[in-house]
């Protein structure tokens, strides 16, 4: 055995590294992840790689290496695209086209008026109807959205509904019942995470405590009646897209998730009964090593929280199922075809991180809603990784890598530090109200922006390797008549329905809200009378009020 074979890290640094640096000096660069985690020149067993108790095996606690023992050897992840625009008919056509191309699930993008609880003819909806998603103003729109789609054959249907999560859930239930679909055979996935709206997106309606209550209503209803549905996807994606670090993304997401868990527990639900239904929605970013480590750390943290903090005994309650969406904030308008490479790297990070569902961004998303061709390329990216890249034949292919294990451990420690601080400050709702989340995000986003502006971090085509020639790509053009047609539809609906029945259902809804009951049964009855989304939200505003954020400096 040679001297090199028995070297430790300090010997290597003294005998090999130091003389080598004289002949081949390192680049003058900040060797760190996007989040700022320092990267060592080399990692070894001496760097504190997790022991077997922290690493474990796939499908076994603490699930660092995956939530099932076989992972993609049994089934690929659900391949679903985030899509939807214009009217329900237009979105329906896009969904059917993607399903024909091999997609196995889809996410329903909702326009801003829908997400904020306004009908198409409300003054605040002007100019936004159908622009960044499909407009769903009533049960009639939901019926048109799903017409001709084989709901029982689609592996997963997701929606961005958060402030309106319970209302959209009620519309699903009513629409499926009218179509004669067996609810037990559907797999609906409702994001329903309103707390991240106050932090990162802004499509909130009611104050945070009321928001938590309404989200927990869906969790309770599904636990009791629809165990096959996902009533909550704790969402870190939008937190990350707002500029957070990887550790902040996980910590803020889990702190929000625990607020819903604790509300559900107060209702008498058993953690082992409802926790298996919960998912998380995380970003898949461009920093490959950090992202792989993030997904692995996320599973371990959640498993430990469920078992050690809440006493879960059912292994299914400890498994964190992850829906990953390639990070839109990494895409740039300059040289847009480069985004195809970025999305491929992000997809690979999600796969090697062991997620259960992936949606891939389209290369033209820095311009507009994706064209059908761009959406197809994004879907094909997932299919190439699944079938051609050779990374799905073994579980957790990067497990045991010194660098990956060290980053996984470091992220877990950073996340736990944040969780402890959030708990000390009073929990997620208090951190929204006192501005803690906003200050942390603002500081992280500012540091990243400064890196770009000073070329401390390179974004190809944006601050380096620029091209003088402007690249021309086809851009999606929406139907300018969609908004007017939607206005006419909602007004015609109000004329032809039984308005006495509508008003009674809304009065019953308000009474249930004032009595602090679970609102799902009353919401289902309201949407069945074709009460509109805006009417339902206005009735609830009368009970809960609206949220006015305080100034955060």
What confidence score (pLDDT) does residue 345 get?
98
Contact call for residues 476 and 375 (beta carbons, < 8 A):
no
* Tens of pLDDT, residues 306-350: 999 999 999 999 999 999 999 998 999 999 999 999 999 999 999
Residue 188 lies in a domain: yes
Q: Which residues pair with 322 in a beta bridge?
A: 280
468 φ, ψ (degrees, to nearest 5): -75, -30
Of 23-32, 124-133, 395-404, 496-505, which gets the smallest average pLDDT? 23-32
Q: What domain range is 180 assigned to?
A: 68-453
- With a cut of 80, say whether residue 23 has pLDDT above it: no
Q: What is the mean pLDDT of residues 476-496?
A: 92
- With a cut of 80, say whether residue 29 has pLDDT above it: no
Q: The CATH number of the domain where 304 resides is what?
A: 3.20.20.240
Instruction: Give the chain's domain count.
Output: 1
For 86-236, where are the E strands, in sequence order? 105-108, 156-159, 188-190, 233-235
Q: What is the mean pLDDT of residues 51-78?
A: 93
Q: What is the mean pLDDT of residues 235-260?
A: 97
Contact call for residues 37 and 407 (beta carbons, < 8 A):
yes
Dist. CA 172–CA 189, nearest whole Å:
11
- Torsion angle in degrees (nearest 10) through CA of 281, 285, 288, 291: -30
Quick one: what percent of the chain has pLDDT higher than 90?
75
- With a cut of 60, say whether residue 3 has pLDDT above it: no
Q: Which residues pair with 78 in a beta bridge?
A: 357
**What's the whole-number average pLDDT of the chain?**
92
Residue 15 structure tokens: 């005998």
Q: What is the mean pLDDT of residues 63-84?
A: 91
* Tens of pLDDT, residues 400-427: 999 999 999 999 999 999 999 999 999 9
Residue 376 lies in a domain: yes
Under the banding of pLDDT at 50, 70 and 90, the label for residue 5 is: low
Dist. CA 513–CA 502, nearest whole Å:
17
Provide the whole-model pTM.
Answer: 0.94
Residue 34 lies in a domain: no
Residue written as tokens 């499908």?
59
3-state secondary structure of 80: strand
Residue 534 lies in a domain: no
Residue 113 lies in a domain: yes
Residue 132 lies in a domain: yes
What confidence score (pLDDT) does residue 1 get?
44
Residue 348 lies in a domain: yes
What confidence score (pLDDT) does residue 97 get?
82
- Give exposure, 109-137, as e/b (b: 16+ Cβ within 10 Å): bbbbbbbbbbbbbbeebeebbbbbbbbbb
* Tens of pLDDT, residues 180-213: 888 888 888 999 999 999 999 899 999 999 999 9
Of 186-195, 323-332, 365-374, 380-389, which gets the smallest average pLDDT? 365-374
What confidence score (pLDDT) does residue 95 get?
82
Residue 120 lies in a domain: yes
* Tens of pLDDT, residues 105-147: 777 889 999 999 999 999 999 999 998 889 999 999 999 998 8
- With a cut of 90, say whether residue 478 has pLDDT above it: no
What confidence score (pLDDT) does residue 338 get?
96
What confidence score (pLDDT) does residue 102 get?
83
Of 19-28, 36-45, 137-146, 261-270, which gets the smallest average pLDDT? 19-28
Contact call for residues 195 and 211 (beta carbons, < 8 A):
yes
Dist. CA 362–CA 166, nearest whole Å:
29
Contact call for residues 220 and 132 (beta carbons, < 8 A):
no
Under the banding of pLDDT at 50, 70 and 90, the label for residue 48 is: low
């Amino acid at each position: 055995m040679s001297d090199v074979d028995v070297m430790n890290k300090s010997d290597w640094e003294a005998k090999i590294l130091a003389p080598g640096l004289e002949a081949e000096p390192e680049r003058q660069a900040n060797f760190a992840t996007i989040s700022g985690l320092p990267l060592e020149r080399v990692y070894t067993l001496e760097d504190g790689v997790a022991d077997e108790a922290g690493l474990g095996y796939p499908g076994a606690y603490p699930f660092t290496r995956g939530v099932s023992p076989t992972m993609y050897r049994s089934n690929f992840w659900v391949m679903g695209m985030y899509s939807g625009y214009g009217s329900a008919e237009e979105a329906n056509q896009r969904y059917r086209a993607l399903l024909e191309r091999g997609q196995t699930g889809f996410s329903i993008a909702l326009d801003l008026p829908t997400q904020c609880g306004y009908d198409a003819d409300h003054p605040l909806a002007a100019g936004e109807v159908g622009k960044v998603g499909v407009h769903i103003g009533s049960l009639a729109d939901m019926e048109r959205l799903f017409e001709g789609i084989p709901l029982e054959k689609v592996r997963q249907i997701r929606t961005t509904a958060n402030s309106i999560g319970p209302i959209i859930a009620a519309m699903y239930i009513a629409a499926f019942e009218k179509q004669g679909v067996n609810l037990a055979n559907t797999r609906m996935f409702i994001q329903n995470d309103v707390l991240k709206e106050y932090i990162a997106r802004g499509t909130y309606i009611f104050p945070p405590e009321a928001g938590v209550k309404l989200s927990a209503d869906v969790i309770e209803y599904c636990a009791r009646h629809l165990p096959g549905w996902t009533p909550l996807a704790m969402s870190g994606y939008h937190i990350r897209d707002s500029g957070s670090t990887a550790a902040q993304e996980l910590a803020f997401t889990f702190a929000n998730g625990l607020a819903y868990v604790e509300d559900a527990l107060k209702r008498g639900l058993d953690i082992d009964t409802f926790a298996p239904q919960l998912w998380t929605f995380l970003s898949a970013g461009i920093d490959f090593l950090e992202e792989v480590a993030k997904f692995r750390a996320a599973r371990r943290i959640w498993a430990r929280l469920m078992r050690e903090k809440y006493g879960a005994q059912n292994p299914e309650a400890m498994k964190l199922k992850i829906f990953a969406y390639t990070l839109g904030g990494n895409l740039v308008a300059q040289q847009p075809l480069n985004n195809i490479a970025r999305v491929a790297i992000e997809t690979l990070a999600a796969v090697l991180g062991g997620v259960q569902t992936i949606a891939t961004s389209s290369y033209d998303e820095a311009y507009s809603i994706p064209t059908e061709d761009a959406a197809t390329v994004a879907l094909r990216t997932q299919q190439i990784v699944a079938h051609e890249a050779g990374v799905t034949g073994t579980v957790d292919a990067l497990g045991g890598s010194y660098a990956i294990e060290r980053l996984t451990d470091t992220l877990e420690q950073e996340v736990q530090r944040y969780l402890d601080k959030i708990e000390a400050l009073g929990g997620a709702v208090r951190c929204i109200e006192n501005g803690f989340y906003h200050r942390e995000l603002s500081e992280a986003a500012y540091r990243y922006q400064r890196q770009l502006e000073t070329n401390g971090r390179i974004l190809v085509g944006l601050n380096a390797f620029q091209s003088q020639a402007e690249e021309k790509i086809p851009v999606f053009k929406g139907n300018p008549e969609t908004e007017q047609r939607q206005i006419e539809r909602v007004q015609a609906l109000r004329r032809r329905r039984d308005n006495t029945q509508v008003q009674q259902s809304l009065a019953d809804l308000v009474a249930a809200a004032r009595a602090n009951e679970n609102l799902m049964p009353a919401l289902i009855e309201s949407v069945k009378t074709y009460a509109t989304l805006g009417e339902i939200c206005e009735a609830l505003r009368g009970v809960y009020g609206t949220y006015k954020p305080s100034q955060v400096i």
